[in-house]
Structures are given as C-alpha cells and as structure tokens.
C-alpha cells in the first residue's frame, strides 16, 4: 500500500532588510556658516578681486528678495553673475570648487558633523548630501568626505563654461523632497524599502523631514526647534563647541 505523500512547505523567507539612508543638509548643518555667498566671495578674491567692487550692486536684489518680489533662484543667479561673470571656463570653475572644498574641510565644518557621517557609514548606512547649494562645490566637498551621493542645485554649462543660470529647480524646500524621491527612483530603491534618517537645521526642509522615517534637527533655527520639540524629533546642537 502506497504511503501518503507529505506536503512539503517552503520555509518562510526572511523579510528583506530596508536600506539605511542617512541624508544630510549642508549649510549650517554640516557647515558652520552658509556656503553660497562665501563661495562666491572666495572665488572672486582668487580669480578677479576687482569684482568685489560690484557687490553693492546686489543690494537692490537682496531687497527685492526680502519683500518676495523675486525668487531665491533669481537672487542666486544675480549673485553668481556679479561674483563670477557670465562665463567661467570649466577648468577654472572646477579648480575654484576644489580649493573652496579644501578651505571648508580645514575650518568650515562642524567636527561633530564629520564624526556623525563616519558613525552612520560605519553602521552600514548609505550617506547622501542634499543641499540647495551648487552641485559644483558640494560634489567637491563630498568627494573629500568620501560621500558618493550628492543631490544639489545644478548649474548650466555652455560651450565648456559655467554660467549663472540654474539648470532645473533650485534644490530647496519641496523641490529638495522631489529631488530625493527622484534619486531613490533612479537608484532603484523603493521608498518602502528604505529607512531614511534626515539631518537639517532649517524649517524650509520640513517636506523632507516629513518624508523621512527619522527626523533629526541639527543646530536648529528657532522655528525648526519649536517644530522638533512639538513632534518629539531628536535635536542636536553643535554650535557651542564651534564657538
């Protein structure tokens, strides 16, 4: 008499582990001071110091931005035009960006921020820098920090020269969130299979904080500190050590 066959059930497969992503804002999160104006002044001093005499021309631009008659994008493009001109050869632009990155490494970053990047990396997480600053120098800084993934504001290049025009969106606020989502899609990372830990100093990054699984307010502005306290987010403050 034939024995009844046993039904063989496949062993349950362990659930895939989410990929850990640690995304860092740059200005006032990793850096002690904002970087855009500092880069433009640095580049003008090293390339064409006479352009510093043109800086007062930006006062009306700053006032128009303050009363919301022009966008942040327009203001940034105007600042670039005054400090660097309409066409900067790529070789010169890359050299200036690398010199500026070295300057930031030497005296412009919070040591605690660098240490935190290293701890995140050591725990197996993928590090991303996401900033409204130009990709040109954010990428140069990221290379020196050993960070491969950069999301930043792209520049327009024509005829091998850097121009003041921003290519695409300014990577700020909701646009930064959209750029991060596009990065995930391009990398083949489903949102539900990623654990995002986001570090930033400013309330303008609220859309990204709300996208993240873990929000960490770093050196927070007054508005961000209030929101972080209300929502019980972690708060880190490295400013005292820098002073």
Digit-coded pLDDT (tens) for 148-194 = 999 999 999 999 999 999 999 999 999 999 999 999 999 999 999 99
Nearest one of 201, 197, 199 to 222, comparing CA atoms: 201
Which homologous superfamily is 19-242 in? HAD superfamily/HAD-like (3.40.50.1000)
Query: With contact defined as beta carbons under 8 Å apart, do 76 and 166 qualify?
Result: yes
At residue 6, the pLDDT reads 55
Digit-coded pLDDT (tens) for 131-153 = 999 999 999 999 999 999 999 99
At residue 16, the pLDDT reads 67
Digit-coded pLDDT (tens) for 5-40 = 555 455 555 556 789 999 999 999 999 999 999 999
Instruction: Please compute, for residue 60, the number of CA atoms within 13 A of its CA located in the half-sphere on the CB side.
Output: 3
**pLDDT score of 232 more than 90:** yes
Q: Where are the domains of the chain?
A: 19-242
Distance CA 200, CA 219 (A): 8
At residue 5, the pLDDT reads 54
At residue 25, the pLDDT reads 98
How high does pLDDT run on average in the chain?
Answer: 93
Nearest one of 197, 223, 191, 194 to 209, comparing CA atoms: 197
**Which regions of the chain does DSSP assign to beta strands (E)?**
19-24, 88-89, 126-134, 149-158, 161-167, 194-200, 214-218, 234-236
Separation of CA 35 from chain center:
11
């Amino acid at each position: 008499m034939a024995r009844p066959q046993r039904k063989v059930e496949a062993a349950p497969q362990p659930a895939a582990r989410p990929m850990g992503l640690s995304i860092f804002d740059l200005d006032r999160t990793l850096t002690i001071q904002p970087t855009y104006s500092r880069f433009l002044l640095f580049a003008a001093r090293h390339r064409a110091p006479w352009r510093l005499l043109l800086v007062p021309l930006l006062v009306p631009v700053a006032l128009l931005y303050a009363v919301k008659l022009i966008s942040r994008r327009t203001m940034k493009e105007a600042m670039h035009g005054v400090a660097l001109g309409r066409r900067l050869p790529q070789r010169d632009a890359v050299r200036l960006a690398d010199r500026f990155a070295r300057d930031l490494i030497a005296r412009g970053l919070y040591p605690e921020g660098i240490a935190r990047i290293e701890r995140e990396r050591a725990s197996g997480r993928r590090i991303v820098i996401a900033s409204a600053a130009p990709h040109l120098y954010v990428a140069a800084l990221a290379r020196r920090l050993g960070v491969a993934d950069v999301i930043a504001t792209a520049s327009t290049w024509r005829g091998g020269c850097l121009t003041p025009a921003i290519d695409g969106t300014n990577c700020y606020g909701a646009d930064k969130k959209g750029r991060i989502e596009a990065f995930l899609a391009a990398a083949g990372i489903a949102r539900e299979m990623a654990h995002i830990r986001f570090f930033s100093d400013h309330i303008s990054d609220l859309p990204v904080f709300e996208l993240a699984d873990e929000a960490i307010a770093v050196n927070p502005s007054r508005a961000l500190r209030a929101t972080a306290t209300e929502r019980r987010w972690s708060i880190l403050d490295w400013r005292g050590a820098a002073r």
